[in-house]
Amino acid sequence: DAGVTQSPTHLIKTRGQHVTLRCSPISGHKSVSWYQQVLGQGPQFIFQYYEKEERGRGNFPDRFSARQFPNYSSELNVNALLLGDSALYLCASSLEPGNQPQHFGDGTRLSIL
């Protein structure tokens, strides 16, 4: 069975641009979460979606937004990119929110020049 898939794998942008990252969950999983991981730190929670509705939001500015589609795939959008947005962006899926374990995709490495 396919795991969580993310695209693109790598992305280079300049300050002020916007970016869209995509994620397809494991088949049967209805919840998708997004995380940002900078070097030397654990992943930081950005958003959680379940059945196309936002179920949680982390401490990130409004430049960050996301949505979930009827097929449970998801997009993370970041506007007005800053140098500090350079990070590994991880998508994780689970059967549903709550105590279910989350499984991660390979991530999108975003570099801002």
Partner 1 sequence: QKEVEQNSGPLSVPEGAIASLNCTYSDRGSQSFFWYRQYSGKSPELIMSIYSNGDKEDGRFTAQLNKASQYVSLLIRDSQPSDSATYLCAVNLYYGNNRLAFGKGNQVVVIP
Which residues of this protein are in contact with partner 1, per CB under 8 A? 33, 35, 40-45, 48, 55-56, 58, 88, 90, 92, 97-107
DSSP letters spanning 1-45 = ----EEE-SEEEE-TT--EEEEEEPPTT--EEEEEEE-TTS--EE
Regarding beta strands 108-112 and 44-50, do their DSSP bridges make them parallel or antiparallel, or are they unpaired?
unpaired
Cβ proximity to partner 1: between 7 and 14 the closer is 7
CB of 79 to partner 1, least distance (A): 23
CB of 16 to partner 1, least distance (A): 28
Regarding beta strands 108-112 and 10-13, do their DSSP bridges make them parallel or antiparallel, or are they unpaired?
parallel
Cβ proximity to partner 1: between 40 and 70 the closer is 40
CB of 99 to partner 1, least distance (A): 4
Specify the amino acid at residue 63.
R
Cβ proximity to partner 1: between 84 and 101 the closer is 101
